[in-house]
Amino acid sequence: MSINVPRGTRDFLPDETEKWQVIEELIRDTCRLFQYKEIRTPVFEHTELFTRGVGDTTDIVQKEMYTFTDRGDRSLTLRPEGTASVVRSFVENKLFGLPDQPVKLYYIGPMFRYERQQAGRYRQFIQFGIEAIGSNNPAIDAEVMALAMSVYKKAGLKKIKLVINSLGDTESRQSHRDALIAHFAPHIHEFCSDCQNRLEKNPLRILDCKVDRDNPLMDTAPKLPDYLNDESATYFAKVKHYLGVLGLSYEVDPNLVRGLDYYNHTAFEIMSEGEGFGAISTLAGGGRYNGLVENLGGPVSPGIGFAMSIERLFLALEAEGQKFTNIDTLDMYVVSMGEAAKDKAISFVSQLRESNITAEMDYLDRKVKAQMKSADRLNAKYVIVIGDTELETGMVMLKNLSNGSQIEMSFEDIISKFDELKLSWQEELA
């Protein structure tokens, strides 16, 4: 019996990984432009990091973590998200001591959540995220959102919208919390057992319950923006001001609360409005998490960030009908006839590669015609055929497969003049 991938995970075969590499490069370039530097943290962490960081009443911690005990009897968890790990590392490596604050970091890597599999929701997915830690300035909130939007726009997405809200500071959240308890308490018996537990512990989490989402009390629940104190309202106004300065349009959604406990003040999501994107329209989510660094043992260091899954970015591109074309990278296919020619092909392919020219050859001892077909299928720009004559004279026909033109050259000249050749043929084609 054959063995398949675990539910909620996928293989990415070369056709797909090529596209991923294009997107990853775009992401890395964008981060470079915005001056975010890459951080790589372990794929598993102490479970306590997430119970304390993400919050023990969240769906992520209660229902979705891959937690296991290792042979040393420690409870470890495959990371369900990146922020808690980055903040742990920020504290552990004392990055708060760096002269340049905020510390601007990004990551790309697999995250794990035990969720019901559907389009856009996987048990292993790749998140790209950024975290700017060490500034409480609303301008950095706007920068973080601008970076996310920039990645989507450069990838070619047009139908996306930025949705924002403010969760306010601790005082504002406390008044909102009291109002939520008063709102839900008389009817809490109509809600699921998780929500009943959440009522006193963390009533905000009732609002993102997947089971009770259609209960009419959800719509009439007290809205955060009505409970913002002056300081929080001023902060939110400034965030909106800087979004305006950056020319970014947005919608305010007073119901946006996000599903992780560390958020306060700014919360945002980027949604796809592409037709046919399916039920899950959130492409990215993020927000401010002042207090998380202290909660994980560090000094006062306010932070903000976001994360997006690259899978959902591809789904959104598909929904908008965007296609990746022209990811051909093969410069030359070397065809050979006979044993002596094969030796030459092996050494010439190796020389080409050492000169940064991508090259391929046949490893099945097939006939010339079959080798030529491979060259076509692999989208080679050029092909040469080595036989006895070419070995004797040291000269070979270099054929341009896109326009059929040929030119006779020595093996050495092909390498030394390759850039020139490519350029002149490209001009001819243009």
Shortest approach of ligand HAM to residue 297 CB, angstroms? 19
Nearer to ligand HAM, 134 or 390 (CB): 134
Q: In the complex, which residues of this chain contact ligand HAM (CB under 6 A)? A: 81-83, 113, 115, 120-122, 125, 127, 129, 131, 259-260, 282-287, 289, 305-309, 311-312
Where would I find the H helices in 118-205? 138-155, 170-184, 193-201
Please check whether residue 240 is in contact with residue 248, taking contact to mean a CB–CB distance below 8 angstroms.
no
What is the residue whose two structure tokens read 């050495």? 412
Shortest approach of ligand HAM to residue 107 CB, angstroms? 10
Please check whether residue 308 is in contact with residue 81, taking contact to mean a CB–CB distance below 8 angstroms.
no
Nearer to ligand HAM, 153 or 187 (CB): 153
Please check whether residue 105 is in contact with residue 87, taking contact to mean a CB–CB distance below 8 angstroms.
no
Measured CA distances, 154 to 109, 127, 147 (Å): 20, 18, 11
Nearer to ligand HAM, 127 or 215 (CB): 127
Shortest approach of ligand HAM to residue 271 CB, angstroms? 9
Pairwise CA distance, residues 286 & 164, whole Å: 10
Pairwise CA distance, residues 184 & 222, whole Å: 10
Measured CA distances, 61 to 47, 76, 78, 81, 195 (Å): 9, 13, 11, 11, 15
Nearer to ligand HAM, 61 or 359 (CB): 61
Pairwise CA distance, residues 60 & 79, whole Å: 10
Shortest approach of ligand HAM to residue 153 CB, angstroms? 17
Name the residue whose CB lies closest to ligand HAM.
Answer: 305
Shortest approach of ligand HAM to residue 124 CB, angstroms? 8
Nearer to ligand HAM, 23 or 283 (CB): 283
Nearer to ligand HAM, 194 or 208 (CB): 208
Shortest approach of ligand HAM to residue 293 CB, angstroms? 12
